[in-house]
Structure 1
């Protein structure tokens, strides 16, 4: 009966993950806290009506400390003495870098780092006391293969410099947390969800939202302490139409 908290839960991967987790029996997933800048969207309202005793929408912005602290208090109240077992840091933004990296706008880099890296630190630190009381003690940071140094030569032409840099920084943040809290029983990993057909991923992506998130969910459920501090890929059978491989193995840093 694990309790989950998912950021960026109003759309895309976060919304679909919330939906798929709630489809599991209560014996596996008892509560899901859907955190989003706007947690009152029609999609979340529909899920709330379907799962009124298991889904708890929470409005918060990961780039705002006061907002996150208010979210902690709201979640603590709804837990009513229960612990928080799994945190999925999914909220993130992208952005096209115009021209070469010398032309990258500093405001864009600052904004993306604030959401994709500082936001994860802000959320993780704020909810950590609740996670310490949990039985699973899992923190899942949704990264990207674009943050891999090893893959960098293969995606040099992609206009996503700021986004790539942010995901590389997120991976180091993951490793620092993982190493410092391994002895406390935590499992803290970065995962690449693959190229999924979302607003961010575009309609040209490799995987449907249902297929990609099903693989993400499976990875989250199966990840244990032996994976602590690792960068993990989802597992989806390769087809000729796919640009990338999803082999379920560790991704090189």
Structure 2
């Protein structure tokens, strides 16, 4: 059975991905990481008969990332890791625009360096796994093609860092394609979470389900690509075709 690591699993998409994966018979261990305490995640883990293991991890702290990877290695008991889902991230607002934003460094540390540090730390475990998949949760607001369309959204640091995550994804995909890895960026859609807000398009349950469909069905042909979910009734917005860079 496949093993998973999910970062940012304390709430929102990460928590729902953990919940839905734990209901699948083909899934073995799920290492759900969270920066702080999460009663909902702990409750989910207690009801999982040991399938969900909660790991403390702040992705913006490289030392904490290394410690978490060591804990996961112990939990795998000599086996490899199959799938890494880099989901942890922050979205900060800057009402005065790009030139005045003071949060780019913090956003970059969490959203880009965090993905890099986590990926680098878990690559050795993935190399011993069967599936060798890495899904980096991104967003179409980071698409340069869509820059003018999403310009009114007052979160320039978030947009910039998601663009950077996409570029980072491609570099890792090229570096590890000869080892059989499938590494891709994935937009889960605009979801009704604490980050997405109540006005968002999709429920977190529907977004997580569509996200898992993409992750579970991905093959080496998707290596280095920017995937988008498929959701009925949304036309081209969520038609399952690749998102533009």
TM-score between the two structures when normalised by the length of structure 1: 0.95
Q: Which deviates more from structure 2 when the two are superposed, residues 121-130 or residues 93-102? A: 93-102
User: 1:245 matched to which residue of 2?
Assistant: 237
Query: Contact 1:215 / 1:235 at 8 angstroms: preserved in 2?
Result: yes
- Please give the residue correspondences for 1:27-106 in structure 2 after superposition, counting only pairs within 5 Å: 28-38=26-36, 40-105=37-102
Structure 2: how far apart are the matches of 1:60 and 1:100? 31
Shift of 1:52: 2.6
Write out per-residue CA displacement over residues 136-176 of structure 1, whole angstroms, 9 at most, x where no aligned residue. Answer: 00000000000101111111111011000000000000000
Query: Contact 1:10 / 1:41 at 8 angstroms: preserved in 2?
Result: yes
Structure 2: how far apart are the matches of 1:96 and 1:185? 39
Query: Over aligned residues, Cα RMSD in angstroms?
Result: 1.1
User: 1:228 matched to which residue of 2?
Assistant: 223
Shift of 1:100: 2.2
Structure 1 stretches of 4+ with a deviation exceeding 4 A read none
* 2:113 aligned to which of 98, 115, 118: 118
Which consecutive residues of structure 2, in runs of 5 or more, have no partner in the other structure?
Answer: none
Corresponding position: 1:146 with 2:146: no
Query: Contact 1:238 / 1:245 at 8 angstroms: preserved in 2?
Result: no
User: 2:104 matched to which residue of 1?
Assistant: 109
Query: Contact 2:11 / 2:38 at 8 angstroms: preserved in 1?
Result: no
Secondary structure of 1:31's aligned partner: strand
Structure 1: how far apart are the matches of 2:8 and 2:97? 29
TM-score between the two structures when normalised by the length of structure 2: 0.98
* 2:192 aligned to which of 193, 197, 205: 197
Q: Which deviates more from structure 2 when the two are superposed, residues 196-205 or residues 59-68? A: 59-68
User: 2:168 matched to which residue of 1?
Assistant: 173
Equivalent residue pairs, number: 245
Q: Which deviates more from structure 2 when the two are superposed, residues 166-175 or residues 66-75? A: 66-75
Shift of 1:238: 2.2
Write out per-residue CA displacement over residues 7-49 of structure 1, whole angstroms, 9 at most, x where no aligned residue. Answer: 0001000000000000101xx10010001102x4211121112
Shift of 1:245: 1.1
Structure 2: how far apart are the matches of 1:146 and 1:129? 31
Which consecutive residues of structure 1, in runs of 5 or more, have no partner in the other structure?
Answer: none
Secondary structure of 1:33's aligned partner: strand
